[in-house]
Amino acid sequence: MNILSLFVLIPLLMLAGLWASRTLNQTRGVMLAGSSALLILAIGLAVEYTNLRQGGATADMLFTDSVTWYEPLHIAYSTGVDGISVVMLLLSAIIMFTGTFASWRLKPMTKEYFLWFTLLALGVFGFFISTDLFTMFLFYETALIPMYLLIGVWGSGRKEYAAMKLTLMLMGGSAFLLIGILGIYYGAGATTMNILELASMSIPANIQHIFFPLVFLGFGVLGALFPFHTWSPDGHASAPTAVSMLHAGVLMKLGGYGCFRIAIWLMPEGAQEWSGLFLVLTTISVVYGALSAVVQTDLKYINAYSSVSHCGLVLFALLMMTRTACTGAILQMLSHGLMTALFFAVIGMIYGRTHTRDIRLLGGLMRIMPFLAVAYVIAGLANLGLPGLSGFVAEMTVFVGSFEHPDLFHRVCTIIATTSIVITAVYILRTVGRILYGTCKNPEFEKLTDATWDERTAVICLIACVAALGMAPYWASTIINESVAPVIERLACS
Amino acid sequence: MEYTLYILLLPLLSFLILALTGMKWTHRAAGLFATGLLAVAALLSWTAVADYLALAPDATGVRPELLPFCFEWLPFGHGLGINLGLLIDAPSVLMLGVISTVSLMVHIYSLGYMKGERGFQRYYAFLGLFSFAMMGLVVAPGVFQMYLFWELVGVSSYLLIGFYYTRPAAIAASKKAFIVTRFADLGFLIGILIYGYYLGTFDFRPDPAALAAGGMMLPWALGLMFVGGAGKSAMLPLHIWLPDAMEGPTPVSALIHAATMVVAGVYQVARLFPLFVTYAPEVLHAIAWVGALTALYAAIVACVQTDIKRVLAFSTISQIGFMMVALGVCTSTDPHTGGLGYMASLFHLTTHALFKALLFLGAGSVIHAVHSNEMSAMGRLAGRMPLTHITFLIACLAIAGIPPFSGFFSKDEILTACFRYSPTIGWTMTGIAALTAFYMFRLYCRIFWGKASQETEHAHESPAVMTLPLLILAALTCVMGWVPFGTFISADGTPYEIHLDMQVALTSIAFAVVAIALALTFYLNGHSTVPTRIEKACPKLHQAAYRRFYFDEMWQFVTHRIIFGCLSTPIAWFDRHVIDRFMDFMAWSANAAGEELQPLQNGRVQTYMILFLGGIVALTIILLLAAEGMF
Amino acid sequence: MELEIHVFHYLVVSTVMLFCGIYGFCTRKNLLAMLISVELMLNASNINFAVFNRYLFPGQLEGHFFSLFGIAIAAAETAVAIAIIINVYRNFNRVLTDDVSHMKG
Amino acid sequence: MMDLSLLDITFYATAAVIIVCSILAVTTGRIVRSATYLLFVLFGTGVIYSMLGYTYLGAVQLMVYAGGIVVLYIFSILLTRSSQTMRYRIGRGRLAAVLAATATGAVLVIFLLASQHFALVAIPQGVELPAREIGHAMIGSDKYQYVLPFEIVSVLLVACMIGAILIARRHK
């Protein structure tokens, strides 16, 4: 049995365990055990993968395995990971682990909440380990659907509206995606759905030109591509804390990952053909998201627009199609996943205490809840790209890589995109100044308490990861860079 | 010289320990711990200076560049990557010495100045972070490491300016400082990107082949990098953050906003100097003009400010202008012909760091005594605070360029370099030097002489822990000028014997003395009506200078009106009302179409039948017509 | 002795019958009357089967049997339909389509 | 004018009855009359079957339809007293739509039939389909023999019968 299948099996066992659990403590126990097991498994996989690579493994993907489950369409459950999937799995496991702690005290219907939560995680893990187009799509949908219930039931504010909007827009995206997948399948001669095999075939250029935008848009909706990003502010604002974390932290990464793994890898000529248009859109995303965030007054809206900007940078870098830029894109996915999860966790915790996210009503929290305030500042600094935290590493790789493209148009886009780091500073510092510094405006807030032990665990884990990636990026950068190579070679050939 | 690594690591350690566990420490223990670690770091840096100077120079007198520690931190591919390491050569080792000295003084001084403040441990943690970042910046072997630490000093500056985070002014100032410098850093970053792409490396010393290939883009790269430097070093028009940054604690102003961080821009240009001179001389001369303009502007504004820290801040801007001018007027790397300015600039950087830190710490001592920054709250403090008075006077004389204090020597070299380049700029700078003398003595008189005020009644000398650093810095200010600086540092590394150009020296001394005399007559006894009369004579000019020639208002306009008003607000509105509405409209139209079509599915078989029949009939007609060839 | 009637004439009869049935089905509101119309339609199609069988494929019996089974199924259908109608009447005291709309979604 | 044989006259008379009664069955205002007209139509159909030589089919038609079903109708009409509920108004637009659709449909179908140019085939009269043949075809299991449909229809009939009883039964 393949080690990768454990990533699907453990969540399945967790689901069974949650189903059987009777008390709150049992539920928490199952979640804790399961998410720790996944985290350990992900770390183990990362170590094993690095060892294999150092031992001279040169295949595009390692740990490959395949079981056909629907012969007529050649649909198989095929698994395999490269450096990109390894870091994404690690990211997902970390976010799931911390997300468990972030929703430790969630009420009501804790058990049901965790059931859906685990199902979402199952979809995410399955997506990252799969190398079969259809199976990937299957897991992708598995990850999307629980979102609706998690936001609709456990959310806050206009939750039904937000949940409906999010689900409909993402489903719209996946409709494109399905067409795109079928296009790839038939375009390549309808003999296999396995990405690795498809990558070695060539799809006719005219087919690529038709289906590349479909697949890219399909994943782009999830990656908050302008102008299909509007689910993000409402969705994030209404989602419960851990769901926001998992959604912004991992689910939005499915978009970038899919764009890279499916759209760009399998359809390099389509990518070359369409990169101009999409590059303009992503550049708009980057700057537009940041500028929108500047005037928002709801903490989660600020962060959601900031995510639009940062995820826009992921797609932007992918479209630059140089090796360094693509490495940067994956690093940015990793970094954004961690820091935005941290951000949402802290915002959720603050909201849980003050019951408002309006920055005009908040103030002076630094004195009342120093731990959360410091965590917020750290998340903010990571967001604006402070060296030593993850944001810097990712952004610099993206910019250096984008600048490698000698074309003037790409250069101009890069320079426009770099302005986002200034705008990011503006909205982060504005928020920090408003809500943390200054004096407390509401006497009610004086009585609030600082983070509890479970919240501290979640926040400290995330800060540690953000700092670790920021201070020692060598490992992640190297294994991603190696794994990006095949795609770039294919692009160069086209 | 591997131990130089510990010079960086010790402040970092101090930061990490205090940041993670600081709240559990007593104030005293935290302060002493941080000061102790920094003292060790300072000792190590002085050893490093001594060790480096002890290295045997080669035949031409050039000392080797050492790279005791270097590793690849983040690979980008294509041979590019961020290397972190320590580059030990004359400028960096000099900067290490200066930074650790001033930082140590500030650490000691703060034990007294910050006593009993809330967040004392946090304060020391941030000081540790800043010292680490600043030293990391100066030892950077490549431009990317410089940028990395450049951002880190920016953040520590932000944190320290906003140390009193309950004061709205401090919050606004910290935000402004960070955002303005960040904006400038954008230029730096783009410059780095161009540099890295065309030269294939981020090192300060690219190999000649790459230079030959990519040299034509260097003016752009260097010019954009200078934008970053101009932001950090408060050059016109990016200077606006520095006066506001005085909201931070005074020792912080001394360390960051006078002695070390604000000269990072100068250091950056000095680091890239060989490239500037060879490949982008026109950019270099533009820098000279920017520097001169800034120096003039700041000197004029400093003459009318009433907040003593603001006066010092503008004086800092003006002095950095001097350093920039000195670099900008260079025409070659040879100190004997056109490269004198390089040496002069770094010399002035060193002496300025010491006497400006002294001035700020002295001002801090005064503020500590009278609890106000305003000149009107001061006066006749000379008798009450003798040590502060004497050390402040020494610093004023130094900055005014009176021998034998250090400022005279370095400023003289700068003026010499300027006159060699062009007499215009030489005379301009001499004039600005005289203005400097005037406003510094205006400040001195208003604080220590003139009319007494209520607040001065209870003023008394600061504790020993605060006066000790003053005395040490004063002593350094007295002797620093006699150091044969040119033998250690010059643009191409060859030793250069400093010799005074008597003509330049005497002129500048004469100018300075006249200016000081004027200031003394105006302000010494506090009864002269000349200043008010001048003020009355040209109120508009005075008002404009007092309001700093409305630069803040311009920036306010740009940020609030243009960025907030014309970009962000419309974009946010557009997003909510156009794009989002469009998405909502799509959902709504699907829904509405459903509503419209719903009556068709009304459950009446008869309706279905009619529709069915109608459909069949229509289809048949169409098919018939098609068969007839009607379509 | 032979019958020399064109197939077309039969078909006209059945067509008219069919469209009468359709007309009745669409316009009647009484459930029983609707059922009567359905019978007309069924009958029309039965005639067609028989006629085509007889005229075009005289050697075979498919049309014949189709009509036969059609009649049988019509009988079954009528039985069930009338049972339902009676039940409806019992519950609503009406047999008009407009009144019996409780099952509508 | 072509001369008509008796058979022809019989056919056209039947056809006329069928057409007229069909129209009356769906237009009359009284449901009992409607059922009666239906009965005439069914009789007419039976006559046509017989003229085609399918006497057996004609007999079934008379027995099952005319004899069984129409009686069922009459009973249920009486049971539900629906003769009083035949007075209703139908929307003018709807009526027009139905009329137009049916008229056009009928015209179209007839036009289509007329344009098909069926060959004029004469069928022998008085030669009926032998009952033996029908019986063999009905219970044989070869090709063109229909035991399976027969059985299925039987089961269906039984099921319908039971269903009808169950549905119509008065619940206690």
Beta bridge partners of D123: C3
Same domain for D15 and D71?
yes
Give chain D's count of helices (H) and strands (E): 7, 1
CA-to-CA distance for B207 and B213, rounded, in angstroms?
10
The minimal CB distance from C43 to the residues D41, D121, D170 is found for D41
Does C60 lie at the interface with B, CB-CB under 8 angstroms?
no
Unique residue bearing structure tokens 């006629």: C51
* Whole-number percent of chain B with pLDDT over 90: 5
Look at residue A474 and tell me whether its pLDDT is greater than 60. Answer: yes
E strand or H helix that includes residue D84: none
Least confident piece of the model among A204-218, B3-17, B308-322, C1-15: C1-15
pLDDT at A37: 92
CB B34 within 8 A of CB B18: yes
Give the best residue of A295, A384, A407 to mutate against chain B (max B CB count within 10 A): A295
The minimal CB distance from B151 to the residues A386, A403, A478 is found for A386
CA-to-CA distance for B443 and B309, rounded, in angstroms?
10
Instruction: Tell me if there are at least 3 CB pairs under 8 Å linking chains B and A.
Output: yes
Same domain for D102 and D50?
yes
CB B143 within 8 A of CB B130: no
Task: Calculate Rg over the CA atoms of chain C.
Answer: 17
Gap from D75 CA to chain C (nearest CA, Å): 10
User: Residue D26 domain-assigned?
Assistant: yes
Determine, for residues B614 and D101 on separate chains, whether the beta-carbon distance falls below 8 Å: yes
E strand or H helix that includes residue B194: helix B168-199
Taking the CA atoms of residue B281, residue B285, residue B290 and residue B292 in that order, the dihedral angle to the nearest 10 degrees is 150
Chain B residues close to A304, C-beta within 8 Å: none
**Which residue type does A446 have?**
E
Q: E-assigned strands of B13-117?
A: 66-77, 80-88
Q: How confident is the model at residue A367 (pLDDT cuts 50, 70, 90)?
A: confident
Identify the domain containing residue D140 by its residue range.
Answer: 131-172
Determine, for residues C26 and B602 on separate chains, whether the beta-carbon distance falls below 8 Å: no
Same domain for D111 and D138?
no
Look at residue C103 and tell me whether its pLDDT is greater than 60. Answer: no
pTM for this model (two decimals)? 0.82
| Helices assigned H by DSSP within B538-604 | 539-546, 551-556, 569-574, 580-597
CB A236 within 8 A of CB A150: no
The residues of D whose Cβ lies within 8 A of any Cβ of B are 94, 97-98, 101-102, 104-105, 108, 112
A478 → chain B, closest CA residue? B75
CB B158 within 8 A of CB B112: no
> Between the CA of residue B491 and those of A427, B156, B337, B573, what are the distances in Å?
42, 31, 11, 55
Q: How confident is the model at residue D42 (pLDDT cuts 50, 70, 90)?
A: very high
- Chain mean pLDDT for chain B: 85
Q: How confident is the model at residue A1 (pLDDT cuts 50, 70, 90)?
A: low
Gap from D66 CA to chain C (nearest CA, Å): 11
Could you tell me which residue, A83 or B210, shows the higher pLDDT? A83
Instruction: DSSP letter for A298, please.
Output: B
Same domain for D40 and D69?
yes
E strand or H helix that includes residue B559: none
Q: How confident is the model at residue D52 (pLDDT cuts 50, 70, 90)?
A: confident
B362 closest CA partner among B336, B395, B335: B395
Q: How confident is the model at residue C79 (pLDDT cuts 50, 70, 90)?
A: confident
CA-to-CA distance for B363 and B369, rounded, in angstroms?
10
Does B175 lie at the interface with A, CB-CB under 8 angstroms?
yes
pLDDT single digits (tens) B346-395: 888 899 998 899 999 988 888 888 888 888 778 777 778 888 888 888 88
Sequence-separated (6 or more) residues with CB below 8 Å from residue A400: A324, A328, B76, B80, B193, B196
pLDDT at D40: 92
Gap from A401 CA to chain B (nearest CA, Å): 7
pLDDT at C105: 45
- Classified as helix, coil or strand, A79 is strand
- Chain mean pLDDT for chain A: 87
> Between the CA of residue B238 and those of A376, B178, B201, B294, what are the distances in Å?
29, 12, 29, 10
**Which residue type does B394 have?**
I
User: Residue D7 domain-assigned?
Assistant: yes
Task: Quickly list DSSP for D104-161.
Answer: HHHHHHHHHHHTT------EESS-PPPHHHHHHHHH--STT--HHHHHHHHHHHHHHH
Does A399 lie at the interface with B, CB-CB under 8 angstroms?
yes
Look at residue D2 and tell me whether its pLDDT is greater than 60. Answer: no
Look at residue B207 and tell me whether its pLDDT is greater than 90. Answer: no
Least confident piece of the model among B593-597, C87-91, D87-91: D87-91
Q: Using omega within 30 degrees of 0 as the cis cutoff, is the peptide bond preceding B531 cis?
A: no
Unique residue bearing structure tokens 């500056």: B157
> Between the CA of residue A216 and those of A212, A268, A316, B131, B406, what are the distances in Å?
6, 12, 12, 47, 65
- Classified as helix, coil or strand, A74 is coil
Determine, for residues D97 and B610 on separate chains, whether the beta-carbon distance falls below 8 Å: yes
CA-to-CA distance for B67 and D78, rounded, in angstroms?
113
Gap from D124 CA to chain C (nearest CA, Å): 5
pLDDT single digits (tens) A71-81: 888 888 888 88
pLDDT at D18: 93
Task: Quickly list DSSP for chain C.
Answer: -EE---HHHHHHHHHHHHHHHHHHHHH--BHHHHHHHHHHHHHHHHHHHHHHHHHH-TT--HHHHHHHHHHHHHHHHHHHHHHHHHHHHHHHS--BTTT--TT--
Token output for B31: 């302060």
Same domain for D105 and D52?
yes
* Whole-number percent of chain A with pLDDT over 90: 13
CA-to-CA distance for B53 and B483, rounded, in angstroms?
13
Does B613 lie at the interface with D, CB-CB under 8 angstroms?
yes
Token output for B465: 């822990």
Q: How confident is the model at residue D16 (pLDDT cuts 50, 70, 90)?
A: very high
pLDDT at C14: 92
pLDDT at B467: 86
pLDDT at C102: 61
Look at residue A40 and tell me whether its pLDDT is greater than 90. Answer: yes
Does C35 lie at the interface with D, CB-CB under 8 angstroms?
yes
* Confidence check on the interface: ipTM exceeds 0.90, yes or no: no
Same domain for D143 and D111?
no
Residue A146: CB atoms within 10 Å: 20
Determine, for residues A426 and B179 on separate chains, whether the beta-carbon distance falls below 8 Å: yes
Q: How confident is the model at residue B89 (pLDDT cuts 50, 70, 90)?
A: confident
Chain B residues close to A430, C-beta within 8 Å: 175
The minimal CB distance from D114 to the residues C8, C55, C73 is found for C8
CB B52 within 8 A of CB B88: yes
Does C70 lie at the interface with D, CB-CB under 8 angstroms?
no
pLDDT at D22: 92
> Between the CA of residue B307 and those of B243, B314, B444, B530, D46, what are the distances in Å?
10, 11, 12, 20, 119
A-proximal residues of B, 536-575, CB under 8 Å = 563-564, 567-569, 571-572, 575
pLDDT at B570: 84
CB contacts < 8 A (C, D): 237
Least confident piece of the model among A422-431, B109-118, B156-165, D163-172: D163-172
Give the best residue of B611, B617, B625 to mutate against chain D (max D CB count within 10 A): B617
CA A348 to chain centre: 18
pLDDT single digits (tens) B401-412: 888 888 888 888
N-term to C-term CA, chain B: 93
A366 closest CA partner among A377, A356, A379: A377
Does C92 lie at the interface with D, CB-CB under 8 angstroms?
no
Least confident piece of the model among A257-271, B329-343, D53-67: B329-343
CA-to-CA distance for A60 and A80, rounded, in angstroms?
9
Look at residue B510 and tell me whether its pLDDT is greater than 70. Answer: yes
Unique residue bearing structure tokens 């520097």: B291
**Taking the domains of chain A in order of start, what are their residue ranges?**
3-493
CATH number of the domain within which D93 lies: 1.20.120.1200
Determine, for residues B76 and A397 on separate chains, whether the beta-carbon distance falls below 8 Å: yes
Same domain for D110 and D145?
no
User: Residue D125 domain-assigned?
Assistant: no
Mean pLDDT of the region B197-204: 83
Token output for A237: 């604002």
Does B36 lie at the interface with D, CB-CB under 8 angstroms?
no
Q: What interhelical angle do B90-113 and B120-138 show, nearest 10? A: 170
Same domain for D5 and D87?
yes
Look at residue A351 and tell me whether its pLDDT is greater than 70. Answer: yes
Determine, for residues A397 and B74 on separate chains, whether the beta-carbon distance falls below 8 Å: yes
pLDDT single digits (tens) B121-143: 888 889 899 999 999 999 988 88
pLDDT at D32: 86
Instruction: DSSP letter for B216, please.
Output: G
Last residue of a domain, one of D90, D115, D140: D115
Chain D residues close to C71, C-beta within 8 Å: 57, 60-61, 64-65
Q: How confident is the model at residue C45 (pLDDT cuts 50, 70, 90)?
A: very high
Sequence-separated (6 or more) residues with CB below 8 Å from residue A147: A120, A163, A166, A167, A170, A235, A239, A243, A247, A251
User: Residue D106 domain-assigned?
Assistant: yes
Determine, for residues C36 and D65 on separate chains, whether the beta-carbon distance falls below 8 Å: no
pLDDT single digits (tens) B4-55: 888 889 999 999 888 888 788 888 888 889 899 999 999 999 998 888 888 8
pLDDT at C40: 92
Where b means 16+ CB within 10 Å and e means fewer, A467-479 reads bebbeebeebbbb
CA A477 to chain centre: 17
Sequence-separated (6 or more) residues with CB below 8 Å from residue A29: A21
Chain A residues close to B72, C-beta within 8 Å: 474
Same domain for D27 and D108?
yes
Gap from A188 CA to chain B (nearest CA, Å): 32
Q: Which domains does chain C have, with CATH numbers?
A: 7-92 (1.10.287.3510)
User: Residue D124 domain-assigned?
Assistant: no
Same domain for D88 and D159?
no
Does C104 lie at the interface with B, CB-CB under 8 angstroms?
yes
The minimal CB distance from B575 to the residues A230, A386, A401 is found for A230
Give the best residue of D14, D22, D27 to mutate against chain C (max C CB count within 10 A): D22
The residues of B whose Cβ lies within 8 A of any Cβ of C are 602-606, 609-610, 613
C85 closest CA partner among C98, C100, C71: C100
Does B247 lie at the interface with A, CB-CB under 8 angstroms?
no
> Residue B451 — φ and ψ, nearest 5°?
-95, 140
C2-3 vs B66-77, strand pairing mode: unpaired
CA dihedral over A32, A34, A38, A40, signed as positive or negative: positive
Q: Name the percent of chain A in helix, strand, coil, to the closest 5.
A: 80, 5, 15
pLDDT at D1: 45
Q: Tell me how many domains chain D contains.
A: 2
- Classified as helix, coil or strand, A77 is strand
pLDDT single digits (tens) B458-474: 778 888 888 888 888 88
Chain D residues close to C82, C-beta within 8 Å: 72-73, 76, 164, 168
Same domain for D46 and D72?
yes
Look at residue D87 and tell me whether its pLDDT is greater than 70. Answer: no
CA A194, A197, A198 angle in degrees (round to 5)?
A: 80
> Between the CA of residue A79 and those of A2, A46, A180, A266, what are the distances in Å?
8, 16, 21, 17
Token output for B599: 């009556």
Determine, for residues D99 and C23 on separate chains, whether the beta-carbon distance falls below 8 Å: yes
pLDDT single digits (tens) B521-561: 887 777 777 777 777 777 787 777 777 777 778 877 877 77
Task: Calculate Rg over the CA atoms of chain B.
Answer: 31
Determine, for residues C104 and B603 on separate chains, whether the beta-carbon distance falls below 8 Å: yes
